[in-house]
Structure 1
Amino acid sequence: MLRRSARAHLLGLIAAAVLPVWLFAAYLLVQYALQQQTRFEQDALRTARQVSLVVEAELVNLQTILDGLSKSATLANGDLKAFHDETSRLVQGTDQVLTLNDAGGNQLTNTDIAQGENLLLVEPATAEESEKLKSAGVLVSNVFADRGSGGYRVAVSRRVLGPKGEQWLLSISVPTTRIRDVMLPAVPEGWTVGIGDRGGNYITRSTQHEKVTGKPGLPEYVDKIVGSAGSFKSRNFEGATLLAGYYRSTYSGWFYAANVPLSDVQAPLWRSLAAICGIGLAALLLSLALAYVVGKRLTEATIDLAGRAEALGLGREVEPMSTSVAEFATVAKAMVDAERAIAKRTRELETVLETVPAAVWFTYDPQARQVIRNRFAAELMGLLTRKSFGTPDRVIDTVAVKDGHTVTREDRPLSRAMRGETIDNQEFAYTLPSGVQRHLLSSARPIRDPGGSIIGAVQISLDISERKRGEEQRQLLVNELNHRVKNTLAVVQSIANQTIRNASDLTEAGLNLSSRLVSLAKAHDILTRENWSGADLADLIMNSIKPHAALDRFQISGEDVWLPPNVALSFALALHELATNAIKYGALSNSTGTVSVAWNIVGDDRVRHLELEWREEGGPPVARVVRKGFGTQLLKRVFAYDSAGGVVLDFEKSGLRCIFHLNLSEAEAADDRLLP
């Protein structure tokens, strides 16, 4: 195809301009009229869309409030009173009303009505609205009358789950005046913008809001709003012909229509008709002389514009263009704005990817060997330095394991996504070259071009290493708890068996068993307070003797000693037996006897021995016991940790003397041993 420059075309046009001046003027007039009408249609469409963006942003803000309330603990627990108080505080001082309805349309709470008063019965959602709620989870209502104030409102609703899994509807409504106030700053001077709901009723209009809100629009006007966007001519309520552009939102289903009187559109045309007729002849004579100059400028400007379009396509910076041709200047400015917008969005995306605490990898390599990673992904893989974001880099060699099996590079999420697979929340254990192990929860998706062909893939992974370590720690704690419970049950069983065996009757056995178990429980309380790390000997002695006698009958002295858990239990039982025996037969059986408890540590840090003496004085004369009861057997058996340790009982005439010898080093090592 033969192509000529703009200059050549202009010269040919002028040379062929043999038509009468009036025909030439008429041609220009028609072209001008079409251009003006097209521009106004575009302005109308753009205005309608701009207004929709402002209003829909307000609706999304209302949805955000619902999203936050849907996670309320009071709602999850079904505490409607507390939920009513919470929502009432939230909307206090605003024109917002929050309601909670069940599936049958019964109101459960309403911030306009005190909780406990009779609530309203509202109409359940229609089949179309129910389908919208089911698919999107959110529904923007049509305009409806406010029964309280007599005005009109609109609402945003979302589904929430009740405490038993029932389907409830959480809604927030505002008066239509609020929609009007939000819209007005976006309405250009001289334009009229109206908003209608899915049923064709007006929600608001930039003029005569009070007159039209809640009312149906003119049928001949509303019937022309077909599809998602368009323009048309129609009469308004006053009978004037309008040029209208509309846009219907996919989020709310509302339509936004921007109108301008057709007379305003045509006025410049009629004013231009007189001027065109007057200068038509002069323009024809001058055009030949100007054609060369204008054509040259157009050609140069076109070349410059093409260069900027190429730079925009390659992602390079687009320089501003200086030209006397307004359209070229507009296109050039649009290209500059587009380049800056693309650069801004790119920086925003990079900032998000560099900030989000998730590892992100992109690849456009069919083998998934070259990747683009964000900062978190680099740190997760142990890379201290990396290339700038957007620059491909080679993957590092790691060992991946899933469900106990090693996963090859070809079967990992990013490689599978390059083959068209979708991976959701799969756990992998990666071993880095440094030996560090990471547990990742990974998802991956293919990236497709508009034709559906795979051009790349993206993988997002969360570091769940801490969660895995926490699970392992919890399992260790469960195992330790099982071990401690078994040990305690063994101790209780031993106490019960020997108590019953040495008791003369069941009543005595019950009292003795109860007393010994209480002593064991008090020792458990001390150990529980210390997270079963052990117990302080002095605290243990005080808690063991306090239930039996006044502390002024005792003389207690000794250095700080920390006992392992099972040794602490043994001492608690032994001290209980000694105190009980002293009350029955020894120094505590009268009003003058005393008991001294003293201990000290001998040895070094490697082998430490505890020596503790229980000495009674001032009691009845003591005779040596021939028959060994439960208490004596317990004292002898509980502390036999090594051949050098044990218990020495000396029945002196002045009172019982009991000496404990305990190898603390060995006792700490043998903490897991069951008590007899």
Structure 2
Amino acid sequence: MPRRSVRSHLLALTAASVVPVWLFAGYLLGQYALHERYRFEQDAVQTARQVSLVVEGELANLHTILDGLSKSAALANGDLQAFHREALDLVHGTNRMIVLRDLGRNQLMNTEIGYGAALPPVTAIEAVDVETLNRSGVFVSGVFTGKDSGEYRVAVAIRVPAPKGEDLLLSLSVPTARIRDVLMPAVPEGWTVGVGDRDGNYVARSKLHEEWTGKRGLPEYLEKIVGRSGSFTSRNFEGETLLAGYYRSPRSDWFYTANVPLSAVQAPLWRSLAAICGIGLLSLLVSVALGYFVGKRFTQATSELARRAEALGHGRSVEPLSTSVREFAAIVQAMVDAERAIAQRRYELEAVLETAPAAVWFTYDPKALQVIRNRFAAELMGLPTDAHKSFGRPELVIDTVAVQDGHIVSREDRPLSRAMRGQLTDHEEFAYTLPSGVERFLLSSARPIRNPGGGIIGAVQISLDITERKRGEEQLKLLTNELNHRVKNILAVVQSIASQTLRNATSLPEAGRTLSSRLVSLAKANDLLIQQNWSGADVKDLIATSVSSHAPIDRFKISGESVWLPPNVALSAAMAFHELTTNALKYGALSNETGTVSIRCKLAGQKQHRWLDLEWRERGGPPVEPVERKGFGTQLLERVFSSGTSGRVTLKFYKSGLVCTMRVNSASPLNPAMDKDDTPGREM
């Protein structure tokens, strides 16, 4: 057998070590490429789906508006002129358009055209799929152009019953730019998102929207949008290859696509490949050079070791070997190196026990009263940790109270004591109370330590501190109870509103409209409280939210201080302002075109004895007279501001208009400081 030098073997070993690393790196690179491609595909599909949720939410909102308008009493009575006014109020100040038409091509009402003017027929592109409308109850159109403006729009249509004859269609359309504005917040940086109708025409696009809306997508691109969702690669209008994910909505039958350049997906792969090749080549050169020099020194040390072995074999004295190869020196001084190896293992074990984030107890005492703790065990027990103390020195256990499943556990029945009797403990939870009164929750496991003959010579217990987890579980329970409490309160408020509304209504349609309006006001106030984590609401924000949905905000003048209202007071105040606003719309300053309402807020008192004075003053409306019968609005105001010790309310009916003064005791300056809850930590 041919023999080669140690140096040659080291060089071959170096090459044999580097090549598998290269192969493994190549395998990892391939897996990385597949993973990144899959990740981008999933991101693309997920992005398309997220955009669909946002846009479909806007379409659902349009459907909700139509559904509410379809319940108009004027429409039910065939009063198209009054219905036209109601529709104009809904779209006033927006770019929305409402159209009432028959199932053919004849328009009956259009908010873009004055009532009584000649209405043109509906174009073919605005035709409604009656089969889809009958099946789902709502129809979402494709892209079409307005007759006068020429802008691209989309519409949502529902069937409404006509007073006489065949059913009618009620549609609400918006410009496609509205769809673009809605989807933009959901578009990740570097991505292009598109929305297409069922015919393959672009509805909206996150980039170059004005250029592509209403235009048909590339045929090879549209052919790959098959099924509900998926991903594919295709070229765009500029010839760039894209990785695209798509999702088709079952509600509108629109498709949503999220695209990212394929080059952006592949760029990390190419950078990693270049880095691996460069590092691999450099490592090979360095390894060969190191192998040569190390092999040379290794050969010299081997020769020195052979001469000393020959001297030992011949009984001559063996001199100590000065070498950088530790194994050769170990042969010469075996006993010394053995002792060093044992010490090194002990240091390593101590380092692990002092570093691992778990509490460890050892005992060799049959009663488990003498224990050896690591640093984490000492910290959990509230004991000082001395860095200079010997780890193996046993110490007495401290006096703690252990509880499991609500029962106190004696010292003899704890995991370490049971392990000394040969029992095994796996993942048992205990609550320990230290002498300082601090409580800790531990997840403990224990095992006996046996000698080669199987006898028990000691035991070890390992525990994890799960105090924070237990606190989190308790906090979750508290939050769940709080949520149940708030839901019950909201349901009670809704029940009261419904009961009072039905009791004071003169007809069922009036009750429906009034109840819907009050519930919408309650929902908006609830949304405002949710934005503040249910901590309360600024009275100015609350007023603006309550009145702006009924009348233009420029008809109101809100002045005074910013005051923070608690959640329960904020909900009641929102309902009160809703009632005042609807009353002003029916009978007061907002019933004409010139009347105004001024609302003044003033915080009075000091520290814990503060109250909020509110004044609602109407001007410019028709003369008002005091009412003999108290309606729901008056009853609500008196209940909110006059019950118990919460405040008071006064209604004065001047010729110039209603003046309502209110006092609320449960108020505080805006953004009050929150108290911090500093809870101490918990042992074995």
Short-chain TM bin: 0.5 to 0.7
- Match for residue 592 of structure 2? 590
Alignment of 1:582-661 (within 5 A): 582-642=584-644, 645-661=647-663
CA distance in 2, matches of 1:80, 1:588: 51
- Match for residue 539 of structure 1? 541
8 A Cα contact 2:615 2:659, kept in partner: yes
- Match for residue 363 of structure 1? 363
- Match for residue 336 of structure 2? 336
630-639 vs 615-624, greater mean Cα deviation: 630-639
- Match for residue 383 of structure 2? 383
1:510 to 509, 512, 519: 512
8 A Cα contact 2:590 2:596, kept in partner: yes
- Match for residue 418 of structure 2? 416
8 A Cα contact 1:422 1:444, kept in partner: yes
Alignment of 1:73-112 (within 5 A): none
643 and 362 in structure 1: CA distance in 2 versus 1, 3 angstrom threshold: closer
Deviations 1:610-642 (A, max 9, x none): 211111111001011122211111111122343
8 A Cα contact 2:589 2:622, kept in partner: yes
Residue 344 of structure 1 and its aligned partner are, at CA, apart by: 2.3
Q: Which amino acid aligns with 1:558?
A: G
- Match for residue 280 of structure 1? none
Aligned alpha-carbon RMSD (Å): 4.9
CA distance in 2, matches of 1:57, 1:453: 46
SS of equivalent residue, structure 1 residue 664 = coil
2:503 to 497, 501, 517: 501
Alignment of 1:75-474 (within 5 A): 333-386=333-386, 387-474=389-476
Q: Which amino acid aligns with 1:364?
A: Y
Residue 78 of structure 1 and its aligned partner are, at CA, apart by: 12
Q: Which amino acid aligns with 2:533?
A: N
Alignment of 1:482-501 (within 5 A): 482-501=484-503
Residue 348 of structure 1 and its aligned partner are, at CA, apart by: 2.0
1:579 to 569, 578, 581: 581
8 A Cα contact 1:641 1:662, kept in partner: no
8 A Cα contact 1:74 1:80, kept in partner: no
8 A Cα contact 1:363 1:456, kept in partner: yes
Q: Which amino acid aligns with 1:513?
A: L
SS of equivalent residue, structure 2 residue 341 = helix
CA distance in 2, matches of 1:463, 1:581: 61
8 A Cα contact 1:358 1:462, kept in partner: yes
8 A Cα contact 1:613 1:660, kept in partner: yes
- Match for residue 563 of structure 1? 565
1:476 to 475, 478, 492: 478
8 A Cα contact 2:565 2:667, kept in partner: no
Residue 648 of structure 1 and its aligned partner are, at CA, apart by: 1.1
CA distance in 2, matches of 1:599, 1:473: 37
187 and 415 in structure 1: CA distance in 2 versus 1, 3 angstrom threshold: farther
- Match for residue 550 of structure 1? 552
482 and 355 in structure 1: CA distance in 2 versus 1, 3 angstrom threshold: same
Q: Which amino acid aligns with 1:443?
A: S
SS of equivalent residue, structure 2 residue 509 = helix
CA distance in 2, matches of 1:422, 1:55: 46
424 and 477 in structure 1: CA distance in 2 versus 1, 3 angstrom threshold: same
428 and 76 in structure 1: CA distance in 2 versus 1, 3 angstrom threshold: farther
Q: Which amino acid aligns with 1:523?
A: A
Instruction: Return 5+ residue gaps in structure 1 as ranges.
Output: 1-39, 83-115, 117-179, 192-267, 273-286, 302-319, 323-327, 669-676
Deviations 1:122-166 (A, max 9, x none): xxxxxxxxxxxxxxxxxxxxxxxxxxxxxxxxxxxxxxxxxxxxx
8 A Cα contact 1:606 1:665, kept in partner: no
8 A Cα contact 1:609 1:662, kept in partner: yes
8 A Cα contact 1:424 1:443, kept in partner: yes
618 and 498 in structure 1: CA distance in 2 versus 1, 3 angstrom threshold: same
Residue 467 of structure 1 and its aligned partner are, at CA, apart by: 0.6
CA distance in 2, matches of 1:538, 1:471: 38
8 A Cα contact 1:615 1:656, kept in partner: yes
Residue 80 of structure 1 and its aligned partner are, at CA, apart by: 12
SS of equivalent residue, structure 2 residue 385 = coil
Q: Which amino acid aligns with 1:428?
A: F
CA distance in 2, matches of 1:535, 1:357: 44
CA distance in 1, matches of 2:640, 2:44: 59
8 A Cα contact 1:641 1:663, kept in partner: no
CA distance in 2, matches of 1:187, 1:652: 104
Q: Which amino acid aligns with 1:614?
A: W
Report which of the two structures shows the higher radius of gyration computed on alpha carbons.
Answer: 1
Deviations 1:92-136 (A, max 9, x none): xxxxxxxxxxxxxxxxxxxxxxxx9xxxxxxxxxxxxxxxxxxxx
CA distance in 2, matches of 1:393, 1:360: 14
65 and 359 in structure 1: CA distance in 2 versus 1, 3 angstrom threshold: farther
Residue 391 of structure 1 and its aligned partner are, at CA, apart by: 1.9
340 and 76 in structure 1: CA distance in 2 versus 1, 3 angstrom threshold: farther
8 A Cα contact 2:646 2:666, kept in partner: no
SS of equivalent residue, structure 1 residue 468 = helix
Q: Which amino acid aligns with 2:587?
A: Y
CA distance in 2, matches of 1:445, 1:354: 20
187 and 594 in structure 1: CA distance in 2 versus 1, 3 angstrom threshold: closer
8 A Cα contact 1:607 1:665, kept in partner: no
353 and 61 in structure 1: CA distance in 2 versus 1, 3 angstrom threshold: farther
CA distance in 1, matches of 2:582, 2:492: 23
TM value normalised by structure 1: 0.53
CA distance in 1, matches of 2:499, 2:484: 22
8 A Cα contact 2:563 2:667, kept in partner: no
Residue 504 of structure 1 and its aligned partner are, at CA, apart by: 1.4
Q: Which amino acid aligns with 1:412?
A: R
8 A Cα contact 1:440 1:461, kept in partner: yes
8 A Cα contact 1:54 1:186, kept in partner: no
8 A Cα contact 1:642 1:663, kept in partner: no
1:522 to 494, 505, 524: 524
Residue 534 of structure 1 and its aligned partner are, at CA, apart by: 0.4
Q: Which amino acid aligns with 1:461?
A: S
Residue 58 of structure 1 and its aligned partner are, at CA, apart by: 7.0
Residue 59 of structure 1 and its aligned partner are, at CA, apart by: 13
SS of equivalent residue, structure 2 residue 333 = helix
8 A Cα contact 2:649 2:663, kept in partner: yes
SS of equivalent residue, structure 2 residue 430 = strand
TM value normalised by structure 2: 0.52
Residue 514 of structure 1 and its aligned partner are, at CA, apart by: 0.8
Q: Which amino acid aligns with 2:369?
A: R
8 A Cα contact 2:596 2:620, kept in partner: yes
CA distance in 1, matches of 2:417, 2:661: 74
606 and 187 in structure 1: CA distance in 2 versus 1, 3 angstrom threshold: closer
Q: Which amino acid aligns with 2:431?
A: A
- Match for residue 217 of structure 2? none
SS of equivalent residue, structure 2 residue 549 = coil
Q: Which amino acid aligns with 1:343?
A: A
532-541 vs 348-357, greater mean Cα deviation: 348-357
Residue 604 of structure 1 and its aligned partner are, at CA, apart by: 2.1
Q: Which amino acid aligns with 1:368?
A: A
